[in-house]
Amino acid sequence: METVQYLDLNTKLETIRVSSLHALAYCPRLFYLEEVEELYTQDAAVFAGRRLHTELEKKEDEEWEELFLVSEELGLRGRVDALRTRDGETIPYEHKRGRCHRDEKKQPQAWESDKLQILAYACLLESALGLPIKEGRIRYHADNVLVHVPLDDAGRQAVRDAIQQARQLQQSTHRPPVADNERLCARCSLAPVCLPEEARLVHDREWQPIRLFPEDDTRQIIHVLEPGTAVGRTGEQIKIARRGQPEEKIPAQQIGQLVLHSFSQISTQALYFCAEHGIGVHFISGGGRYLGSFDIRQGSIQRRVRQYAALSNSETCLELAKRLVICRGQGQRKFLMRGTRGKAASEILQTAIKQMQVLLKQVPSVKSIASLLGMEGRLAALYFGALPSLILPNVANELQFDGRNRRPPKDRFNTMLGFGYSLLLKDVMNAILTVGLEPALGLYHQPRTQAPPLALDLMEIFRVPLVDMPIVASINRGQWDVKEDFEARGNRVWLSEAGKRKFVDMYERRKQETWKHPVTEYSLTYRRLLELEVRLLEKEWSGEGGLFAQLIVR
């Protein structure tokens, strides 16, 4: 069978993929996320399915006819993986890793989504090639069962109905609700994007969600600190060439981010490779300032359109901004309260804690962003004015804190704060780009500086637990050498290369610690919580809001 029809770009836009009908039958929301919002994941099940097909291709008894077909009449396109000819009849085959469905009599049946998929391939063969197809077959490899699916008038109508439903969803601007059957969600590769359990919790606060969001991201975050280091690509690996050191090669699937400090370099081939594999690339100056990130977003236009619509509403922005101010202010206040445990607190500390409580109670009644900014400024002044009370008296004078200053920092404590906030901004940007939102359109901060407003907004949630707390703890433990870890030039102070290494290690280890979410009541590493908060923010304008900015230091 040599006839092959290739798709042109215009046709591709007008037709529905057969594989997308499988998603539609499984869950309309899954179809919408993949086909309209262009979201895909590659979890272990996806890779296992690919391995299965690769193994089957190597078997001599399999008759593989790989055809790329399109039917303008049906409005359908797809790749038919396997065809067999038996007694003059052409039969399309599908291979599935899992087990078949069984009816009440324990008879093997095809799952509804698999059934629609094989029927769609059969209809595509009939329409595109004019072949008479009587049935399709599905091999379920987990229990070694072959299920026959006849193609009759009812099957053809089911395919046409599914195509019509798919077209309607493609034109919709509203994401379908989560599936009624939560067991489907537990097996879905897009559960970390869809967050179905969290959506159910929004509508039913008695719901006890199961954690479907991955607890941690085990991929490495590679910090390239040495000036002159060259980052490139070789095969399916990232190679790092540091001066005077052996070349390092790391497989792409083991890397989550590349962070290039100072004057390190990266090739265009490596940038393309990182974009293809979802590896975040970020740039930090030699002075520890966040410079920017390589935008690896593909698609996601529908998501940004909804973001624009939501954050163009001043009332929506004000309500979300209030949550951010309360979240950060409560976190700062509770961090200060730790200084009162088991010892007599200073008057400055006690006064700041009381005054912050009074201000936080006033936040819900604020009527404008401008007033909220003023209130946040007063909260910050109280917090940083009392923060020195948390540093032990025996700490060296050079590491004491005497008020916030920056650009450039004039003391060691502020140097660490600035570097830590740069690393945090980088991680928030990575999460925003991973989710597919627009970092330039925020809800609270105004676009006045180089830093994207949405990233500055989301940073508020994590400043205290990821930067302030680790810095104070490390100073009180005597982990810093005032000479070796810092470089003082006049009234300017920077972290030395050794100091940067120490800080990066401390910061990355902190992100691996877990935090139990106070609303969902499941635990995630801080690294995963960064992405979760971005996804929960998106839910605020998708009809599933209420969980954003609830992470408050205990």
- The 10s digit of each residue's pLDDT in 429-446 is 999 999 999 999 999 987
Query: Rounded to an integer, what distance in angstroms lies between the CA atom of residue 483 and that of residue 478?
Result: 13
Which pLDDT score is estimated for 62? Answer: 47
pLDDT band at 342, cuts 50/70/90?
low
Region 283-295 average pLDDT? 91
pLDDT band at 47, cuts 50/70/90?
very low
**Residue type present at position 133:** I
- The SS3 call for residue 290 is strand
Query: Rounded to an integer, what distance in angstroms lies between the CA atom of residue 70 and that of residue 84?
Result: 20
Answer whether residue 3 shows pLDDT above 60. no
What is residue 19's DSSP assignment? H
Query: Rounded to an integer, what distance in angstroms lies between the CA atom of residue 391 and that of residue 385?
Result: 12
Instruction: Note whether 50 and 43 are within 8 A (CB).
Output: no
Task: Report the chain's terminal Cα–Cα distance, integer Å.
Answer: 67
Half-sphere exposure of 100 (CA within 13 A, CB side): 22
Short-list 534, 508, 515, 512, CA closest to 455:
534
Which pLDDT score is estimated for 7? Answer: 38
Query: Rounded to an integer, what distance in angstroms lies between the CA atom of residue 481 and that of residue 249?
Result: 33
Short-list 316, 325, 253, 260, CA closest to 291:
260
Which pLDDT score is estimated for 339? Answer: 82
Instruction: Note whether 166 and 124 are within 8 A (CB).
Output: no
Residue with the bigger pLDDT between 342 and 532: it is 532
**Residue type present at position 97:** R
Answer whether residue 299 shows pLDDT above 80. no
Which pLDDT score is estimated for 450? Answer: 67
pLDDT band at 66, cuts 50/70/90?
low
Which pLDDT score is estimated for 224? Answer: 94
Q: How far is CA 298 from CA 169, 178, 304, 403, 420, in A?
A: 20, 24, 12, 43, 29
- The SS3 call for residue 439 is coil
Residues 6+ apart with CB under 8 A from 102: 108, 109
Query: Rounded to an integer, what distance in angstroms lies between the CA atom of residue 360 and that of residue 376?
Result: 9
Query: Rounded to an integer, what distance in angstroms lies between the CA atom of residue 458 and that of residue 351?
Result: 28
Number of residues written out for the chain: 554
Answer whether residue 12 shows pLDDT above 50. no
3-state secondary structure 306-356: HHHHHHCCHHHHHHHHHHHHHHHHHHHHHHHHHHHCCCCCCHHHHHHHHHH
Bridge partners (DSSP) listed for residue 230: 241, 265
Instruction: Note whether 551 and 521 are within 8 A (CB).
Output: no
Which pLDDT score is estimated for 501? Answer: 95
**Residue type present at position 301:** I
**Residue type present at position 455:** A
Instruction: Note whether 415 and 461 are within 8 A (CB).
Output: no
Half-sphere exposure of 421 (CA within 13 A, CB side): 23
Which pLDDT score is estimated for 106? Answer: 87
Which pLDDT score is estimated for 203? Answer: 87
Which pLDDT score is estimated for 63? Answer: 52
Q: Are strands 82-86 and 108-109 parallel, antiparallel or unpaired?
A: unpaired
**Residue 33, H or E segment:** helix 28-35
Region 216-227 average pLDDT? 92
pLDDT band at 50, cuts 50/70/90?
very low
Burial 341-379 (b: 16+ CB within 10 A, else e): eeeebeeebbebbebbeebbeebeebeebeebeebbeeb
Q: Are strands 76-80 and 67-71 parallel, antiparallel or unpaired?
A: antiparallel
Short-list 165, 187, 164, 162, CA closest to 176:
165
Instruction: Note whether 64 and 57 are within 8 A (CB).
Output: yes
Q: Dihedrals φ, ψ of 232, to 5°?
A: -140, -170
Query: Rounded to an integer, what distance in angstroms lies between the CA atom of residue 173 and that of residue 303?
Result: 10
